[in-house]
């Protein structure tokens, strides 16, 4: 099936989101929904959300807060991000601003709501804006798609059995909403296939009936790619969770797409290997979804992209065709390497059903340090220094800001601030993994000492045991969870 | 332009070679040529090439040697590979056999020329056969392609200038033959564009005239992918050799596709980085060709596949369309990641004109060891042990056999045998790179000591200076060059 017809058959949120930015931006594909209640913590932020008077024409929307945060640093850098909705148009507009570090002085805080003011700020601060969503274009349901009927449900039951076809309102409601509670679809049906054959039959049938489909894994994504826009049939791969084989000589794991990442980690660690990616959502996210979204994760700096680690895929196309690219060769240059098209395409070209992936050897020595920095530039310089001095043992370098720590302390249970008296604005978690404990620890300590002498690190602590290391990691891994406590928000520095 | 029409427009050897194996095998696309003269060293091997009597019907070909080598090891493992030609049909058939390691005893030597005998060997030894080429089907020139005429040459001169259009017989003859002298095309024209715009105009014109094209880089490939089959116009990217930019913070290099790999290595090393791949052919091969062939190379074990290191590409499609995917983002999940289609597709979908690639930090400490092993299984176990014990500092693990060393000593000037009195059959070169000289050396020495005590390593030496290390590497990197001295052959173990 040629690419264009694939797109026309499986036009989910993800496939529309795949329109290149240069063609006018991504369109928000949000169905009508109710905004979350305002968290008391965030009342001050709510007021900051009202577009300030800048002398330019106010935006055409009646802005209502979804979630926001304003950050001002002593270095004169300010960043505001907010999610907005206009209920009358039942769509969302979200923008974010990033401040480029090449300017030594960032000028006054910039809270901009109109394009004209935006550009003048852009010129002086080197601000890069990316706009997502259009409040002017509500996303209409495509009338070419059919509406589910009882015959369809009967057919699915004949393929998947009664347990594989879920119409229970509560269960379907959960599958209709993303993890952050921002996006809500209106699907009436959740399907739970248990084999590639079942996925193939389901998709072939949907193709023949022109029923829209949204593939779903752990539903832990933060950008609305795993839930319906309208009434698409949800095909959840959670029932396909078998490990098929493990080559414990080369560290090549072959498994079904519905395997939860944490379960795979536990399995391969027992064999002396580790998964090449790690996420805060590992307890729920599935490897098929990780691959379909080209997840990066906490080990990205060490083990790189999934494009480099995935060796093979089995994928079911929109018309039910099973594409078997499930090789376990470390490098196979025969033919076109089509599997890469499915890495990061969010299920819009096909549903990943099986995976073969390279797993690195588990190394015996792990060290974790939690550091604070005076300013953002020091964090960048610290990264460069870490790459050179720690080099081959550097396995994670995670950046957090003051608000992130505060949110974690406020909303996460059982975490402790590693640097309780630290007045600093920026924090870095560094992890090293290597083959010799004494060498690695000495290397890390020497690096931290030099960094403090050079003024890159203001304060810091190295974990003395697993419990401390886990605490450090929890602050970072659960940061998204912590933001939920204030209604949800993110910020970006570059 | 949809994929199918791309293929029909640019049907080079590479594109035909891309037919999936399951559809009946790859077809050899060799034009008539004269076999190389028989090297005196190889007379014995030549006799071994005659298909033995096995009781089955002899093959329908009149076998003539192209190049061969028979290896028998004391472990009872034997592998014969030979290239054969049947001049009357002017085509080639080449097969290789790999013996799977799961059998503890590999049985008697297997020199098989017929399928029936092959299968019985397969069953007992777990032999996997891959057959390339068909002696029964000579490759005819596709009559849909036009023949070059003087108007075409005039047009190319108007685009590229006189210096960019080469019809000189000697220069064109060099471009018609691959590095090993095995494949010879019959092109009449060599083009040397200097910009993406020129490549675009050339391809657009060839598309309109239905002139077949073969893209060419350094022409160092060993499988005939960079030379014409018949009279395709050769488009050589050697004139596009500029470095466009280098981000010395993140180590991201952007350059034109005709940059020679060694030149790029020198450039980035001056900046404190290294190229993620290294090849014996680095003095001639070009980065565009490396990417188009998804080259692995000597650093593959450390830095992985080009699919993981290439960040962006600019490619010109067969109809002249310039596809700009030249991002320098470390991870960009917007849109479909189409660039991966061009990695490893040998120019059959488009010509790579620019590249952005991630370069790792250059680490200060490098150690190289040259070891000998008793048998092949020890080499495999040594690899596993190296991955665990050396882990993060392991940067190369290169396997060679006795014949490889002998060929190097015979045909390469200025190399010395690191283990002159060693009677062993198999050799391994191990390289480590890390951030601390003393730690790394101690780690390597401890690993080698343990390996000797465990019986994996029979003998070995660690390079004491750069000169020794270069000598070790020269044996490995120039092994293909050394085989040319006996008419050319390769062997495979698995």
A 424-483 residues with CB < 8 A to B: 433-436, 439, 443
Q: Please name the member of B3, B304, B392 whose beta carbon is closest to the beta carbon of A363.
A: B392
Which of A296, A333, A434 has its CB closest to that of B344?
A: A333
A360-406 pLDDT per residue, tens: 999 999 999 999 998 999 999 999 999 888 989 999 999 999 988 88
Report the C-alpha gap between B183 and B31 in whole angstroms: 7
Q: Which residues of B touch A309 (CB under 8 A)?
A: 304, 308
User: pLDDT at position A373, please?
Assistant: 94
Min distance B18 CA to chain A CA atoms (Å) = 4
Task: For residues B187 and A22, give the distance between their C-alpha atoms in angstroms, rounded to a whole number.
Answer: 41
Q: How far apart are CA B141 and CA A252, in angstroms?
A: 43
Cα distance from B382 to chain A (closest Cα, Å)?
A: 11
Q: Is A389 on the interface with B (CB under 8 A)?
A: yes
Confidence band for B325, pLDDT divided at 50, 70 and 90: very high
Sheet holding A426-434, edge to edge: A394-401, A426-434, A365-373, A459-462
Contact across the interface for B344 and A336, Cβ inside 8 Å: yes
- Specify whether the CB–CB gap between A460 and A448 falls below 8 A: yes
CA–CA gap between residue A357 and residue A389 (Å, rounded)? 30
CA distance B364 to chain A (A): 9
CA distance B183 to B12: 14
* Residue A395: both structure tokens together: 């396995």
Question: Between A145 and B63, whose confidence is greater?
Answer: A145
| CB < 8 Å from A in window 263-322 of B | 272, 293-294, 296, 300, 304-305, 307-309
**Residue A70 · residue A78 · CB < 8 Å:** yes
Does residue B474 register a pLDDT over 60? yes
Total residue length of chain B: 494
SS3 letters for B259-290? CEHHHHHHHHHHCCECCCCCCCCCCCCEHHHH
For B381, name the nearest residue in chain A, comparing CA atoms only: A249
Measured between CB atoms, which of A20, A308, A391 is closest to B307?
A308
- Does pLDDT of A31 surpass 60? no
Q: Report domain extents, chain B.
A: 264-358, 365-493
* Distances A410 to A65, A67, A199, B199, B485 between C-alpha atoms, Å: 22, 17, 43, 59, 73
Between B23-32, B48-57, B60-69, the lowest mean confidence (pLDDT) is in B23-32
| Mean local confidence (pLDDT), A422-442 | 90
Q: Which of B14, B333, B342 to probe by mutation at the A interface, max A CB count within 10 Å?
A: B333
What is the pLDDT, as a whole number, of residue B422? 67
Give the DSSP per-residue string, A443-469. HHHHHHHHHHHTTS-SEEEE--SHHHH
pLDDT for A439: 86
Does any CB of chain B come closer than 8 Å to the CB of residue A384? yes
Q: Best residue in B249, B360, B435 to probe A by mutation, most A CBs within 10 Å?
A: B435
Instruction: Give the one of A300, A308, A436 whose C-beta lies nearest to B304's C-beta.
Output: A308
CATH fold of A365-493 reads: Alpha-Beta Plaits (3.30.70)
Q: Are strands B243-247 and B213-216 parallel, antiparallel or unpaired?
A: unpaired
Task: Please name the residue of chain B whose CA is at the shortest distance from the CA of residue A309.
Answer: B308
Name the percent of chain A lying above pLDDT 90: 59
Kindly give the residue spans of alpha helices, DSSP state H, lying in A283-355. Answer: 287-292, 300-303, 306-309, 339-342
Comparing CB atoms, the residue among A2, A390, A393 nearest residue B2 is A2
Which strands, in side-by-side order, build the sheet including A127-132?
A64-72, A78-86, A91-99, A127-132
Q: What is the pLDDT of residue B252?
A: 97
| Residue A161 neighbours by CB distance under 10 Å | 12
Yes or no, beta carbons of A392 and B363 under 8 Å apart: yes
Query: Among B77, B80, B84, B56, which residue's Cα sits nearest to residue B129?
Result: B80
pLDDT band at B303 (very low <50, low <70, confident <90, very high): very high
Give the A:B interface size as CB pairs under 8 Å: 132
User: In this complex, do B388 and A294 lie within 8 Å of one another by their Cβ atoms?
Assistant: no
CB contact under 8 A, B335 and A20: yes
- Model confidence band, residue A491 (pLDDT cutoffs 50, 70, 90): low
Q: In terms of C-beta density within 10 A (0-12 exposed, 13-18 middle, 19 or more buried), how is residue A113 classed? A: buried
**Which stretch of A172-176, A405-409, B158-162 has the lowest confidence by average pLDDT?**
A405-409
More confident residue, A105 or B262: B262
Residue A234: pLDDT band with limits 50, 70, 90 = very high
Q: Which of B334, B336, B439 sits opposite A21 (nearest CB)?
A: B334
Q: What is the pLDDT of residue B373?
A: 94
Identify whether the C-beta of residue B307 lies closer than 8 Å to the C-beta of residue A308.
Answer: yes
Asked if the C-beta of A388 comes within 8 angstroms of chain B's C-beta atoms, the answer is: yes
Crossing angle of helices A437-453 and A376-389, in 10° steps, is: 140
Token digits of residue A355: 């995976």
pLDDT top residue among B59 and B250: B250
CA-nearest residue of chain B to A348?
B336
- State mean pLDDT over A238-258: 96
Half-sphere exposure of A474 (CA within 13 A, CB side): 17
Across the interface, of A337, A363, A390, the residue whose CB is closest to B391 is A363
- Nearest residue of A to residue B130, measured between CA atoms: A334
The answer to whether the Cβ–Cβ distance between B336 and A343 falls below 8 Å is: no
Let me know: does B361 contact A388? Beta carbons within 8 Å: yes
- DSSP letter, residue A361: B
User: Would you place residue A74 in the very low, low, confident or very high pLDDT band (cuts 50, 70, 90)?
Assistant: very low
Contact of B72 with B110, CB cutoff 8 Å? no
- From first CA to last CA, the distance across chain B in angstroms is 41
pLDDT interval class at B445 (50, 70, 90) = very high
Specify the 3-state DSSP secondary structure of A484. Answer: helix
Chain B hits for A20, Cβ within 8 Å: 334-335
Using an 8 Å CB-CB cutoff, list chain A residues near B26: 334
Q: pLDDT digit string (tens) for A193-230?
A: 999 999 999 999 999 999 999 999 999 999 899 999 99
State which residue of chain A sits closest to B251, comparing Cα positions: A384
Are the beta carbons of B272 and A388 separated by less than 8 Å? yes
Q: Decide if A150 contacts A158 (C-beta within 8 A).
A: no
Q: Tens digit of pLDDT for each residue in B81-136?
A: 333 333 322 223 333 333 333 333 333 333 334 444 444 443 433 333 444 444 45
Examine the pLDDT at A481 and tell me if it is beyond 90.
no
> Which among B3, B304, B338 has CB closest to A304?
B304
- What is the model's pLDDT at position A480? 82
Confirm or reject contact between B328 and chain A (CB < 8 A).
no
Nearest to A391 among B294, B331, B434 (CB): B434
Judged by DSSP in three states, A14 sits in helix
Q: What would the mean pLDDT of A285-313 be, rounded to a whole number?
A: 97
Residue B186: the pLDDT is 96
Residues of A in contact with B333 (CB under 8 A): 293-294, 344
0.85 surpassed by complex ipTM = no
CB–CB contact B345 A334 (8 Å): no
User: pLDDT for A448-466, tens place per residue?
Assistant: 999 999 999 999 999 999 9
Share of chain B above pLDDT 90, in %: 59
Give A-chain residues touching B439 at CB under 8 angstroms: 436, 439, 443
pLDDT tens readout for residues B275-293: 999 999 999 999 999 999 9
- State yes or no: pLDDT of A318 exceeds 70: yes
Mean pLDDT in residue range A116-142: 51
Q: What is the mean pLDDT of chain B?
A: 78
The first and second tokens of residue A406, run together, are 């505060």
Q: Who contacts A54 (Cβ-Cβ below 8 Å, separation ≥6)?
A: A112, A113, A114, A116, A117
- Distance from B232 to chain A by nearest Cα, in Å? 21
What pLDDT score was predicted for residue A487?
A: 65
* pLDDT computed for residue A488 by the predictor: 61
- Å from B312 to nearest chain A CA? 13
pLDDT of residue B80: 38
pLDDT exceeds 70 at position A114: no
Residue A358, pLDDT score: 97
Among A273, A392, A394, A447, the strongest candidate for a mutation testing the B interface, having the largest count of B CBs within 10 A, is A392
- Of B21, B308, B435, nearest to A390 by CB-CB distance is B435
- CATH fit for domain A264-358, picks 3.40.50.1220, 3.10.520.10, 3.30.465.10, 3.40.640.10: 3.30.465.10
Q: Which residues of A touch B343 (CB under 8 A)?
A: 337, 340
pLDDT in tens, A5-15: 333 333 333 33
Average pLDDT over residues A119-125: 39
CA distances to A10, A454, B427 from A155, in Å: 20, 68, 61
Question: Which DSSP string do the residues of B428-492 spell out, in sequence order?
Answer: EEEEEEES-HHHHHHHHHHHHHHHHHTTS-SEEEE--SHHHHHHHHHHHHTHHHHHGGGT-----
Q: What is the mean pLDDT of residues B38-54?
A: 38
Instruction: State the DSSP code for A290.
Output: H
Q: Are A179 and A221 in contact (CB under 8 A)?
A: yes
Strand bridging mode A310-317 / A213-216: unpaired
Q: What is the pLDDT of residues A149-191, one digit of tens each?
A: 999 999 999 999 999 999 999 999 999 999 999 899 999 999 9
Which residue in the block uniquely carries the two structure tokens 């025969």?
A334
| Residue A108 pLDDT exceeds 70 | no
Span B406-422, average pLDDT = 86
Q: Which residues of B touch A26 (CB under 8 A)?
A: 334
Mutation target among B20, B391, B397 for the A interface, most CBs of A within 10 A? B391
Q: Answer yes or no: same fold for B264-358 and B365-493.
A: no
pLDDT at position B491, please? 54
pTM score of the predicted model: 0.75
| Rounded average pLDDT over A332-338 | 92
- What pLDDT digit, counting tens, does each position of B222-275 carry? 989 999 999 999 999 999 999 999 998 889 999 999 999 999 999 999 999 999
User: CA angle, B329 as apex, B323 and B330 as ends, to 5°?
Assistant: 125
Mean pLDDT of B12-32: 31
Cβ <8 Å between A443 and B443:
no
Q: Which of residues 343-382 of B touch A (CB under 8 A)?
A: 343-345, 349, 361, 363, 380
Helix, strand, or coil here: B143? coil
Cβ B311 vs Cβ B357: under 8 Å: yes
Q: Which chain B residues have a beta carbon less than 8 Å from that of A391?
A: 361, 363, 434-435
DSSP A89: G
pLDDT tens figures, B343-364 = 999 999 999 999 999 999 999 9
Q: What is the mean pLDDT of residues A473-492?
A: 76
Q: In what order do the strands lie in the sheet with A165-166?
A: A165-166, A190-191, A233-236, A213-216
Strand-pair category, A233-236 with A394-401? unpaired
Crossing angle of the two packed helices A402-411 and A466-477, in degrees rounded to 10: 110
C-alpha distance from A11 to closest chain B C-alpha (Å) = 14
Q: How far is B326 from chain A (nearest CA, A)?
A: 14
* Separation CA B169–CA B187 (nearest Å): 10
């Amino acid at each position: 099936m040629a690419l264009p017809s694939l797109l026309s058959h499986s036009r989910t949120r993800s496939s529309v989101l795949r329109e290149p930015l240069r063609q006018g931006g991504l369109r928000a594909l949000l169905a009508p929904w109710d905004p979350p209640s305002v968290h008391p913590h965030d009342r001050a932020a709510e007021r900051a959300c009202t577009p300030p008077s800048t002398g330019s024409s106010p935006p055409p929307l009646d802005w209502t807060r979804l979630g926001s945060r304003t950050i001002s640093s002593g270095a004169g850098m300010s960043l505001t991000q907010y999610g907005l909705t206009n209920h009358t148009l039942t769509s969302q507009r979200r923008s974010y601003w990033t401040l480029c570090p090449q300017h030594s002085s960032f000028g006054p805080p910039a809270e901009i709501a109109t394009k004209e003011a935006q550009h003048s700020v852009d010129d002086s601060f080197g601000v890069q804006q990316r706009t997502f969503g259009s409040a002017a274009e509500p996303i209409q349901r495509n009338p070419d798609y059919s509406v589910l009927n009882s015959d369809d449900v009967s057919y699915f039951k004949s393929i998947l059995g009664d347990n594989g076809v879920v119409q229970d309102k509560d269960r379907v409601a959960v599958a209709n909403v993303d993890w952050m509670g921002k996006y809500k679809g209106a699907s009436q049906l959740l399907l739970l296939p248990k084999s590639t054959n079942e996925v193939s039959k389901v998709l072939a049938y949907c193709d023949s009936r022109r029923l829209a489909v949204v593939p779903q894994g752990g539903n832990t994504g933060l950008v609305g790619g795993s839930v319906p826009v309208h009434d698409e049939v949800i095909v959840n791969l959670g029932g396909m969770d078998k490990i098929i084989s493990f080559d414990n000589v080369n560290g090549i794991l072959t498994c079904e797409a519905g395997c939860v990442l944490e379960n795979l980690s536990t399995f391969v660690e027992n064999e002396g290997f580790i998964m090449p990616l790690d996420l805060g959502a590992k307890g729920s996210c599935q490897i098929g979804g990780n691959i379909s979204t080209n997840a990066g994760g906490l080990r990205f700096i060490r083990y790189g992209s999934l494009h480099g680690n995935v060796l093979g895929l089995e994928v079911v196309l929109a018309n039910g065709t099973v594409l078997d690219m499930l090789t376990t060769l470390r490098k196979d240059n025969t033919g076109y390497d089509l599997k890469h098209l499915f890495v990061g395409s969010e299920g819009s070209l096909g549903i990943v059903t099986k995976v073969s992936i390279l797993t690195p050897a588990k190394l015996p020595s792990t060290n974790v340090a939690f550091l604070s920095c005076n300013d953002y530039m020091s964090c960048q310089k610290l990264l460069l220094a870490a790459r050179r001095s720690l080099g081959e043992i550097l396995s994670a370098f995670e950046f957090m800001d003051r608000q992130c720590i505060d949110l974690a302390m406020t909303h996460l249970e059982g975490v402790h601030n590693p640097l309780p008296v630290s007045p600093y604005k920026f924090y870095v978690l560094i992890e090293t993994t290597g083959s010799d404990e004494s060498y690695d620890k000495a290397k890390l300590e020497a690096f931290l000492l030099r960094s403090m002498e050079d003024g890159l690190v203001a304060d810091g602590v190295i974990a003395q045991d697993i419990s401390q290391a886990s605490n450090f990691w929890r602050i970072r891994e659960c940061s998204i969870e912590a933001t939920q406590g204030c209604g949800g928000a993110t910020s970006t520095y570059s």
